[in-house]
Amino acid sequence: MYKKIRIITRKSELALWQANFVKEELLRHHPGLQTEIIGVTTSGDKILDKTLDKVGGKGLFIKELESGLLADTADIAVHSLKDLPAALDPTFKLAAILKREDAADAFVSNKYSSLEAMPGGAVIGTSSARRVALLKQHYPQLQIKLLRGNVQTRLGKLDKEEYDAIILAVAGLKRLGLSDRITQKLDTNKFLPSIGQGALAIEVLSSGTDLIDYLKPLEDKETRFEVDIERMVGSRLGASCSVPIAVYAKSTDNQICLTACLWDVVDNRCSYSRVQLDKSKHEEMVNNCLEELYKNGAREIMAKYPTSHREEFEKFRGDQKIK
């Protein structure tokens, strides 16, 4: 049906790995297909001296890619799913979610064997509101310092001893062949992952029904099931990247376990929920999870954070039309 698919992605080494992985999957299912990878530098890649919540949120990593779809200069956009907002603009659709890699976070250090081994006052780097909240909750003795940039940039700063340790995603390190840099894989029961962490997503225009059907062979049903649940919790809470939130769904046999946590780092408290039910009762599970979060103060915590950065994207998009 399609002779060529144009793939738009960020220019970082990890993003290009992901785009090439999607390319290979496309060729595996559609031999003879021509592909083109279009690398762009996003606003999020340019602004490295501030946390995302101060400059426009996760939308800064996707707006140029979505604009490429709108301008018909690309057919599909490849993302780390954790970089996407939980509530997607209805103009766009996640046509396929590929099989999830390890969802855990990695502790990386040239000095210490584990997070627990770090002494008081040691410097650890991250830019994630979720990771900051987890570190403050479990390791309040540590000094947390802003860390932005791609994986290689972050590792370079660690190697220059600007930090004693940093936190990165296991998935990104494994995909780049850097598993040997993982000092400690953090337990997902204690260090809860971000929504969609470890999964790759292919975004298209919602109007492209033929293309959506064409991409179906790349879909991993179990991963889709799990991350849809995570994104549903985040969406119904109205969470943006400024909100320290973790949601992780893990299915085993006919059961699925859903864990969620929302932090108030100012008043040093959190709202936590853990629910396990049959897979067939996933909607009930989401409702139970949200009910428990609200019971534990989620509404009061959410009221302290902005809930959307879509307005910033709408300004950027201007009067571009869908082709």
Q: Which helix (H) or strand (E) holds 250?
A: strand 245-252
Measuring CA to CA, which residue among 301, 306, 224 is closest to residue 261?
301
Q: How many H helices and E strands in the chain?
A: 12, 13
HSE value, Cβ hemisphere, 13 Å, CA-based, for 272? 10
> Which residues are registered as beta bridge partners of 275?
258
3-state secondary structure of 289: helix
User: Which positions ≥6 away from 152 have C-beta within 8 Å?
Assistant: 13
Which residue in the list 45, 53, 75, 83 is annotated as catalytic?
83
3-state secondary structure of 55: helix
- To the query of whether residue 267 is one of the catalytic residues in this protein, the response is no
3-state secondary structure of 78: strand
Dihedral (Cα; 304, 233, 283, 79), 10-degree rounding: 160
Distances (CA, A) of 101 to 126, 169, 211: 21, 10, 25
3-state secondary structure of 141: coil
With beta carbons less than 8 A apart as the criterion, state whether 167 and 128 touch.
yes
Which tokens in the block code for residue 159?
């190697």
Amino acid at 274: R
With beta carbons less than 8 A apart as the criterion, state whether 222 and 210 touch.
no
| C-alpha–C-alpha distance, residues 312 and 83, integer Å | 16
Alpha-carbon 26 to chain mean position: 22
Give the residue numbers annotated as catalytic, written as ranges.
83
